[in-house]
Structure 1
Amino acid sequence: MRAVHFTDTYLPRRDGVVTSIRTLVRALADHGHPGLTVVPRHPGQADEPDLLRLRALPCGVADLRFSPWLLRGAGATGTIEAVAAAEPEIVHVHTPGPVGLLGVLAARRLGLPLVQTYHTDLHAYADAYRLPAQALRATVRLYARRLGVPHPPVGPVGARARGRWPVGRAGRGPATLHRRAALDATNLLLLGDADAVVVPTRAVLDRISLPVPDERVFLVPTGVAGRRPEPGQVAAFRAAHGIAPDDRVVLAVGRVNREKGVDLLVPAFARALAGCPQARLVLVGAVFDPRWLTGLLKSVGPAVAARITLTGQQPAETVAAAYGSAELLAFPSRTDTQALVLQEAALAGVPAVLVDPVLHRHGPLAGAAVQTAPTPEDFAAGMLRLLDDPAEARRIGATAASRAARHTPTSYAAAMCEVYDQAARRQRAGARTTGEVGQPAVNR
């Protein structure tokens, strides 16, 4: 079954969505299902087979690129014709930006089944960056116009009509509620007609009410291939980043941004350092807001900042060497829906400390980690627990490795083929089908 994948994020930018897509495309191809991937063009982007690169402009946020077809609807025609020439049998949309919207439009125009993966907790990101509700409402109107459908009501009336207006919930002021109402309307436009919606973990369903019935939601964890580095690669990584032989590495992998909980991690590390002076925090990931990060490092003082190493964004083989140098993975994020780094670390035998209770209980590691409250004091205590007890760290790491090993690229591709088959049968029949892949989507 030849799928065409649509994504607003791709190499050279690295994130969990990119990793998930590339893992899936390769695994499907290995099993006789070649595909096409539609991506925004980046300067210096390497050529790859079966990659359709669209003109794109920098949007000024986290190195993301904006496909300007959204502003000129006629720009979609050539892309859809190129997609049709590849003779796909199914459309798989991975992101909610302009390229993802183009995928929804392509599925409609070409009469193909539509599968969506809900990778990103949009509500959490919109709250973290305080995106203006007015801009989000304008996006809803523009998306509806490009799809040629009436735009859904946005705000208290529209959200209440869809049963998604959480009146009176603690910690949510009017601005937050209006943002979330606009995002619910966006999700309705993008997901409402999907023949199948994939969520990578239960965390999505616990946080968000998706506008699709349960029988069209499938829980499919992304498969991760283990990659153990050679000792020489680990030594080279430590030498390249000034990590001394007696340094005890606390590793964090991912964007060094506020939505990833770095503002919790840094003060927590300052407290952990007081209990373990050999600790060194190594942050592997892109820095998109250096001014914010500089202020955060200043807040903990020069002595602590000197024990924090920033490597920037790194290729996969260097990240593998980083895991090989670490004693534990610190994962302070509360916005992730799958956290592939937890699986990567586990497959390297590295135990994790995290604060997200849903990912801890229902993620691929199924509790094989240390979970703490999201406070600097508790997170520091969790890190020190593993640093102070290597035997427990090894035990947790071994359990995590065995659980992560269940989710391979091969099993991921097989599960997605089942989803594609369900979606195709539903689209052909013009009616819903019911089925479960791996684990059923829990009732919401």
Structure 2
Amino acid sequence: MSPARALTASLPAGSLPAASLPAASLSTASPGSGEALHVAVVSDAWYPQVNGVVRTLATTAEQLNRMGHRVTFVTPDRFRTVPCPTYPEIRLALFPDRRVTELLDAAHPCAIHIATEGPLGYAARRYCLARGLPFTTAYHTKFPEYLQARAGIPLSWTYRMMRRFHAPSSGVMVATASLRRELEAQGFPNLRDWTRGVDVGLFHPRPSILDLPRPILMYVGRVAVEKNIGAFLALDHPGTKVVVGDGPQRTELMRQHGDVVFVGAKSGEELAAHYASADVFVFPSRTDTFGLVLIEALASGVPVAAYPVPGPLDVIADSGAGVLDEDLGRAVAGALRIDREVARARGLHFTWARCAEMFVDNLQPFDGAVGQRQAA
């Protein structure tokens, strides 16, 4: 398989339609020009991982294809990898620089977006800097807080590393205004807004599939320490707590909380049906940058209970679709009184089409031939 074909093949079959526009015809496109772009997206997070980063990138790419743009992915499935310590399902590329260079040279993109700060992200960053090519990045994950929670690494150390990574970026895309303010205070430059969307055709109110004592309090997402799920499971509240998802902390939490229903990871219609079966969606995380699960729950007609932190603050705002409180139990009690139609209305506010439009507006296109001439 040729490098160019390998790139487009990195997306699961059927996820994105094949683009027919040749790269040479795309080299002078720019955001807002009405012309098609050929965007290379480099990400250390990709299938079979199930998380917000992967869903955001894949769905944004689908929208970009519908808009007439072409998206090429550089992802771990094209490299020799090793499992990430403590997260074996996350694969880290080994010595990726040469292969990244081959793939990007073959693709001839007219814009490069680096989605993650992992081995592939660093290799793509070096590629762009060596050729004087502009690129954009995104701040998907609060790694400083994540590493502090898991390994006790001081926030200042990791923020210094993250600032250095993003400093040359033409635009650092962030999902919420709260996160933007936090990063501005940490000295991050060139911040750009990039919201998220929800498939309102999939996630919508429907009859419950769960025959459990009410109210049903539900968490959906990765079952890991940085998600702070223990704060939810420790609540003394009538009804049933349900956890939808999998992860490294699941066995431990199942052992500690025998009264909680763990249903494992779900997807598609089955996931949507579980959302709609809840009476309240409980989001205990303090480290997410957005929380796609929040708007999936809202679109399903389920009010939200969460802490007043970035992500929930921006998603709920003054909509009345959820209750944010430092006392999570009090937030749950308040959310139970919210009309489900109010939650659904807030979910309809977020669209993937708008997400894709903002992504394009944030890109920094260049002549696709420039990098090849400079590398020669």
| TM-score, with length taken from structure 2 | 0.80
Say if 2:106 is the partner of 1:85: yes
Separation in 1, partners of 2:214, 2:325: 26
The aligned amino acid for 1:324 is A
Separation in 2, partners of 1:368, 1:385: 10
The aligned amino acid for 1:64 is I
* TM-superposed deviation, 1:211: 4.2
Say if 2:90 is the partner of 1:54: no
* TM-superposed deviation, 1:413: 1.0
* TM-superposed deviation, 1:230: 8.9
State whether residues 365 and 400 of structure 1, in contact with CA within 8 Å, keep that contact through their aligned partners in structure 2: no
Question: Which residue in 2 is equivalent to 1:431?
Answer: none
Gaps of 5+ in 1: 42-52, 70-74, 133-175, 274-278, 298-304, 428-444
Identity %: 24
Please give the residue correspondences for 1:268-347 in structure 2 after superposition, counting only pairs within 5 Å.
268=235, 271-273=236-238, 279-290=239-250, 292-294=252-254, 296-297=256-257, 305-306=258-259, 308-347=260-299
State whether residues 179 and 310 of structure 2, in contact with CA within 8 Å, keep that contact through their aligned partners in structure 1: no
State whether residues 298 and 321 of structure 2, in contact with CA within 8 Å, keep that contact through their aligned partners in structure 1: no
Say if 2:179 is the partner of 1:204: yes
The aligned amino acid for 1:260 is K
Runs of 4+ in 1 over 6 A off after TM superposition: none
Gaps of 5+ in 2: 1-36, 369-376
Question: Which residue in 2 is equivalent to 1:415?
Answer: 358
Q: Please provide the CA RMSD for this pair.
A: 2.6
SS of the equivalent of 1:363 reads: helix
CA deviation digits over 1:260-313, x for unaligned, max 9?
A: 121110111xx112xxxxx2111111121345324542xxxxxxx23x111222
* TM-superposed deviation, 1:32: 0.8
Please give the residue correspondences for 1:13-412 in structure 2 after superposition, counting only pairs within 5 Å.
13-41=49-77, 53-62=78-87, 63-69=89-95, 75-132=96-153, 176=154, 180-208=155-183, 209-213=185-189, 216-226=190-200, 227-228=202-203, 235=209, 238=210, 243-244=211-212, 247-268=214-235, 271-273=236-238, 279-290=239-250, 292-294=252-254, 296-297=256-257, 305-306=258-259, 308-363=260-315, 366-374=318-326, 378-387=327-336, 389=337, 393-394=338-339, 397-412=340-355
Change (3 A) 1:212 1:418: same
Separation in 2, partners of 1:60, 1:17: 19
Separation in 2, partners of 1:27, 1:314: 23
State whether residues 247 and 280 of structure 1, in contact with CA within 8 Å, keep that contact through their aligned partners in structure 2: yes
SS of the equivalent of 1:92 reads: strand
Say if 2:37 is the partner of 1:11: no
The aligned amino acid for 2:365 is A
Bigger fraction of residues in helix: 1
State whether residues 256 and 262 of structure 1, in contact with CA within 8 Å, keep that contact through their aligned partners in structure 2: yes
Question: Which residue in 1 is equivalent to 2:14?
Answer: none
State whether residues 204 and 299 of structure 2, in contact with CA within 8 Å, keep that contact through their aligned partners in structure 1: no
State whether residues 261 and 333 of structure 1, in contact with CA within 8 Å, keep that contact through their aligned partners in structure 2: yes
The aligned amino acid for 1:86 is A
* Structure of greater relative contact order (alpha carbons < 8 Å, 6+ residues apart): 2
* TM-superposed deviation, 1:247: 4.0
CA deviation digits over 1:26-59, x for unaligned, max 9?
A: 1111111111112223xxxxxxxxxxx2221112
Q: Greater Rg, structure 1 or structure 2?
A: 1
